[in-house]
């Protein structure tokens, strides 16, 4: 008879291994687990002894997973993710009508929140938690899915395409009238509002000009760390913001901002819905996912 019902190593060793494999660092794993790097190393050595197989290749400046280590990390990461979600649902007391979705602050304010409000009109019983941040969601296993611009590198999670936006300069109606018939060089003579956040996936002014073949100087006279602030500055006539047309469509429709259509180009990447497979989503999470996909198809967002 096995000494353990499932013949698993001690869970403490598996937890230490999963954290070290995710970070590829014993030191960072120790910080996450609130123990010493020596304690992490001890747990992993115990696990390797139990399995009679090395899981890491120790190097001078870090560690790498062995083939066995990669196989174990893949199954542990998936299992811990599922466990985390079930525990969250148990704590909430409503496992089928609970969903947590993440996005950048811009997507949350301009797109996701209005869509969730419309969703609640049809599904008032579903609890939707939104998490908005301009940093990676890699360490947030409690999320059902995230809305992301561009594909997540090295992610094994399914990516469902939402749409490809259009990029174009936007500004106040008065500045738009002044720039009628302007060239790319003329645009650089006006204040360009540069967005600088910790999320480096968004297309920048230099990248946009490069796509249009412009090789001149691109001044950076104004920098903001919030897309909402960039749009506010542009609305006040103080400069040009790089507009994501579908994302800011309500502002364009109201006339608060005007798009310089002659400079429109497709965004380099698509927006994606990134998360678990449908069979692993709660009833509420699946309902919200389908709602968002239908809204994109219908042109509501």
pLDDT in tens, 115-128: 999 999 888 888 89
Asked whether residue 10 carries a pLDDT value surpassing 50, the answer given is yes
Fold classified for 166-266: D-Maltodextrin-Binding Protein; domain 2 (3.40.190)
| HSE value, Cβ hemisphere, 13 Å, CA-based, for 43 | 23
Q: Where in the chain is the domain with CATH 3.40.190.10?
A: 94-160+270-298, 166-266
Report the SS3 class of residue 132.
strand
State the CATH architecture for 94-160+270-298: 3-Layer(aba) Sandwich (3.40)
Answer whether 120's CB lies under 8 Å from 128's CB. Answer: yes
| Mean pLDDT in residue range 184-189 | 93
Which pTM value belongs to this model? 0.64
Phi, psi for 138 (deg, rounded to 5): -60, -30
Measured at the CA of 127, the angle between CA 125 and CA 129, to 5 degrees, comes to 160
Asked whether residue 235 carries a pLDDT value surpassing 90, the answer given is yes
Strands 193-195 and 127-132, bridge-based pairing: unpaired
pLDDT at 8: 84
Taking the C-alpha atoms of residue 206 and residue 192, their distance in angstroms, rounded to an integer, is 10
Where would I find the H helices in 123-222? 173-178, 184-187, 205-211
Tokens of residue 52, six digits: 């009679």
State the CATH architecture for 11-89: Orthogonal Bundle (1.10)
Q: 10 Å Cβ neighbour count for 280?
A: 14
Q: Where in the chain is the domain with CATH 1.10.10.10?
A: 11-89
Taking the C-alpha atoms of residue 129 and residue 2, their distance in angstroms, rounded to an integer, is 43
* CA dihedral (72, 75, 77, 79) positive or negative: negative
Nearest Cα neighbor of 88 from 281, 290, 289, 235 is 281
């Amino acid at each position: 008879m096995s000494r353990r019902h499932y013949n698993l190593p001690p869970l403490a060793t598996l937890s230490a291994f999963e954290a070290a494999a995710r970070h590829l660092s014993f030191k960072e794993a120790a910080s996450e687990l609130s123990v010493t790097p020596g304690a992490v190393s001890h747990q992993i050595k115990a696990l390797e002894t139990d399995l009679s197989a090395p899981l890491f290749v120790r190097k001078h400046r870090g560690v790498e997973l062995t083939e066995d280590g990669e196989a174990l990390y893949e199954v542990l990461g998936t299992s811990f993710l599922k466990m985390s979600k079930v525990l969250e649902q148990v704590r909430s007391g409503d496992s089928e009508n609970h969903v947590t979705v993440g996005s950048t602050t811009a997507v949350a304010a301009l797109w996701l929140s209005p869509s969730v409000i419309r969703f609640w009109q049809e599904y008032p019983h579903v609890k939707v938690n939104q998490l908005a941040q301009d940093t990676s969601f890699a360490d947030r296993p409690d999320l059902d899915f995230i809305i992301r611009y561009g594909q997540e590198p090295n992610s094994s999670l399914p990516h469902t395409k939402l749409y490809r936006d259009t990029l174009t300069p936007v500004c106040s109606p008065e500045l738009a009238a002044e720039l009628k018939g302007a060239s790319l060089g003329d645009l650089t003579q006006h204040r360009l509002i540069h967005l600088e956040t910790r999320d480096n996936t968004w297309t920048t002014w230099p990248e946009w000009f490069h796509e249009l073949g412009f090789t001149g100087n691109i001044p950076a006279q104004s920098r903001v760390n919030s897309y909402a602030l960039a749009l506010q500055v542009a609305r006040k006539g103080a400069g040009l913001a790089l507009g994501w047309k579908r994302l800011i469509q309500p502002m364009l429709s109201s006339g608060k901002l005007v798009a310089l259509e002659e400079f429109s180009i497709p965004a380099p990447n698509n927006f994606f819905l990134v998360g678990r497979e449908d069979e692993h989503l709660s009833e509420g999470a699946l309902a919200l996912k389908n709602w968002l996909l239908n809204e994109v198809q219908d042109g509501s967002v």
